[in-house]
Amino acid sequence: MKANPEMPPVAEARFSIGDIVRHRVFDFRGVVFDIDPVFANSDEWYEAIPEAVRPHKDQPFYHLFAENADSSYIAYVSQQNLLPDADNGPVNHPAIEGYFEPWTGGPYRLAALMRQ
């Protein structure tokens, strides 16, 4: 019987679904609504990031309902580029209402329908 090859180490996720985070470099913040334990986007997306700032793939990547001063959008961000940001209030993104309960401070709580 062959032994299973060892899986590469995977970093533990620092953030959870509902956490409010901000980007370490770029001026946007968002609410985590999904987490990939390692990079799970397209190679084309990854290669579009300048090599000098391209994150490693072997870390958690977060799907965010994001906002900046001009718009709201979906962002996909590596763990190394995120910081906590709950102190700056709720995030204004139209999709939040369908996934989370109204913000009461701290992390967002999943809506009852999403917890089933």
75 within domain boundaries: yes
Output the pLDDT for position 77. 98
- For the chain, how many structural domains are there in total? 1
pLDDT digits (tens, 9 = 90+) for 58-100: 999 999 999 999 999 999 999 999 999 978 899 999 999 999 9
1 within domain boundaries: no
Range of the domain at 65: 20-115
33 within domain boundaries: yes
73-78 LR contacts (CB < 8 Å, sep 24+): 75/23, 75/28, 75/30, 76/41, 76/45, 77/21, 77/23, 78/39
93 within domain boundaries: yes
14 within domain boundaries: no
- Is the pTM of the predicted complex or chain greater than 0.85? yes
Confidence band for 11, pLDDT divided at 50, 70 and 90:
confident
13 within domain boundaries: no
88 within domain boundaries: yes
108 within domain boundaries: yes
